[in-house]
Amino acid sequence: MEQKTCIAMIPCPGLSHLIPFVEFAKLLVLHHNNFHVTFLIPTLGSPTPSTKSILNSLPPNIDFTFLPQINIQDLPPNIHIATQMKLTVKHSIPYLHQEVNKIVTCSKTNFVGLVFDLFSSDVIDIAKKFNLMSYIFATSSVISLQFCLNLPKLDESVSFEFMDTTKTFDIPVSNVSFKVNDFPDPVLFGRSSETYKAFLCACQILSLVDGVIINSFTYLEHDAIKSIQDIICVYPVGPIIQRESKSKENKLECITWLNNKPSKSVLFISFGSGGALTHEQINEIAFGLESSGCNFLWVIRIPNKHSSSAYFSGSSKKGNFNYTLDDDPLNYLPLGFLERTKDQGLVVPSWAPQVEILSHSSTGGFLTHCGWSSSLEGLVYGVPMIAWPLFAEQRMNAASLTDVFKVAVRPKIDDEDGIVKGEEVARVIKIIMNQYSRDGEGLQLRKRIEDLRVEAAAAAVSEDGSSRRALSSLVLKWEERVTLRN
């Protein structure tokens, strides 16, 4: 029997990183069935039920191993999520070494390379030790990758001025200036912080890998891809998204409700698997929704002052948050809101089947936290967006969606208290949800995202699509390594 070519993938903790890795692995073995993928998964505490569900449904050509759990007590207290992810992987290096050694010594496969996350970049030392090819799978945009590639040069060549959040900074793509305040979280902590130093170290490793696999497509980010091709070998293989939600929680209720609403009349509101809002901000969103008169489907979780509070848990159960009231998120809505809007909206706690909702004919808008996977899902299904970033690189994604891709509108934050007021919520809703407008900003958003929807399908589905060609080019590199070894 012919030996399969083996790739090991090492995502960092967090569902928003694991899911794109899994979907890429499934795409790889679907179109190239001579490949086998092994997931080696660092864990901070016990794997969540969502994580187990995703991994237990993998096809035969993909297997997985949970590495021994890292105890959160072994990490420094009160560290940023990015640092927490990186340290989790770093503490798992001895276990990763053991597992990679097992695969190397196995005679059943041709083991050629490691694919890992930006925050799993310490894995590169293992790749070098075992003479394996090394690739980063970027779970964000090419523009974000471009920023990461430029950060080491910035760090060496400019003063602290580029940390001034009142300023803008040019990233050489589409002649767009990004506000420093929209840079990824770790940069804004300042050069002296451990969070910044860990992020800078990860960015420096980009120049040492054999290539970067990225979940984007050429038509969407042509200029950004072109600007980095001389620096690093990049493979835009996206858009790679989930085509079916794994959990059935709230699914029947959501789809039944959507089936009774007019075409493109519903605004879907979700802040991803890891985002949270303050109680005050939830009240303002409720006010804006009610006053807009727009149909809405809102996924709500218990409020928290930390926007990333649900990131690792993937849950909004009491104990992950600082509130002590009943743990039903609906209890935090304004008094009488559900009754007053019972014909206008549906509010579901904690989770909803996002893919099925975005692909439903009744959905006409998407208020999103701008995680890259959610942004791509909005693009794939042609749903104009309200960009509402919370943490990580989401603000840079929001700026890209609005200023570069031109498929979203971004609400203005009140300068005094740092929240988006209800009047502003209603204003942006009306921009993207007025489907009968024959002019103005909303019409242009809908035209642009329809164009990108068509191009996204062409890139990923057509055998001659740009993303399919990029994947084939990557596979050829791995097969050449097998040939050289044999």
**What is the per-residue pLDDT across 41-56, written as a single tens digit (0 to 9) for each?**
999 988 988 899 899 9
At 321 the pLDDT is 37
Strands 168-170 and 177-179, how do they pair?
A: antiparallel
Answer yes or no: is pLDDT of 64 > 70: yes
Question: What one-letter code names the amino acid at 189?
Answer: F
Task: Tell me if residue 306 is catalytic.
Answer: no
- 373 and 417 share one domain: yes
At 217 the pLDDT is 98
**Considering 394, 412, 433, which residue would you say is the last residue of a domain?**
433
At 210 the pLDDT is 97
* 449 is a domain residue: no
- 348 and 209 share one domain: no
Give residue-wise pLDDT tens across range 212-243. Answer: 999 999 999 999 999 898 889 999 999 999 98
* 64 is a domain residue: yes
Decide if 448 contacts 381 (C-beta within 8 A): no
- 179 and 261 share one domain: no
At 102 the pLDDT is 94
Strands 109-116 and 4-10, how do they pair?
A: parallel
Mean pLDDT of 8-30: 93
* 364 is a domain residue: yes
Give residue-wise pLDDT tens across range 310-359. Answer: 655 444 333 333 444 458 999 999 999 999 999 999 999 989 999 999 99
Task: Tell me if residue 230 is catalytic.
Answer: no
* 17 is a domain residue: yes
- 311 and 199 share one domain: no
**In whole angstroms, what separates CA 241 from the centre of its chain?**
10
* 453 is a domain residue: no
**HEC readout, 218-245:** CCCCHHHHHHHCCCCCEEECCCCCCCCC
Q: What are the residues facing 367 on neighbouring strands?
A: 269, 386
For 367, the domain range is 251-433
At 471 the pLDDT is 98
Give residue-wise pLDDT tens across range 254-313. Answer: 999 999 999 999 999 999 877 889 999 999 999 999 999 999 999 999 999 877 656 554
Residue 154 tokens, joined? 């910035």
Residue 287 tokens, joined? 């006010």
Question: What one-letter code names the amino acid at 30?
Answer: L
- 334 and 371 share one domain: yes
Decide if 459 contacts 467 (C-beta within 8 A): yes
Question: What one-letter code names the amino acid at 141?
Answer: S
- 317 and 266 share one domain: yes
Answer yes or no: is pLDDT of 173 > 60: no
In sign, the C-alpha dihedral spanning 102, 72, 81, 159 is negative
Give the total residue count for the chain.
Answer: 486
At 82 the pLDDT is 87
The percentage of residues in the chain with a pLDDT greater than 90, rounded to a whole number, is 71
Name the active-site residue from 17, 80, 91, 360.
17
- 264 and 283 share one domain: yes
Answer yes or no: is pLDDT of 426 > 50: yes
- 262 and 387 share one domain: yes
For residue 60, CA distances in Å to 17, 139, 285 come to 22, 24, 44
Mean pLDDT of 126-150: 95
At 170 the pLDDT is 72
* 455 is a domain residue: no
At 309 the pLDDT is 56
Strand order through the sheet with 62-66:
62-66, 35-41, 4-10, 109-116, 133-138, 211-214, 234-236
Answer yes or no: is pLDDT of 385 > 70: yes
* 456 is a domain residue: no
- 256 and 328 share one domain: yes
- 10 and 158 share one domain: yes
Answer yes or no: is pLDDT of 157 > 80: no
At 176 the pLDDT is 65
At 166, the pLDDT band (50, 70, 90 cuts) reads: confident
* 354 is a domain residue: yes
Name the active-site residue from 36, 117, 182, 360.
117
| Measured torsion, CA atoms of residues 111, 114, 115, 121, in degrees rounded to the nearest 10 | 180
When comparing pLDDT for 252 and 108, which is higher? 252
Residue 52's domain is classified under what CATH number?
Answer: 3.40.50.2000
- 212 and 125 share one domain: yes
Count up the domains in the chain and report the number.
2
The whole-model pTM stands at 0.93
- 278 and 188 share one domain: no
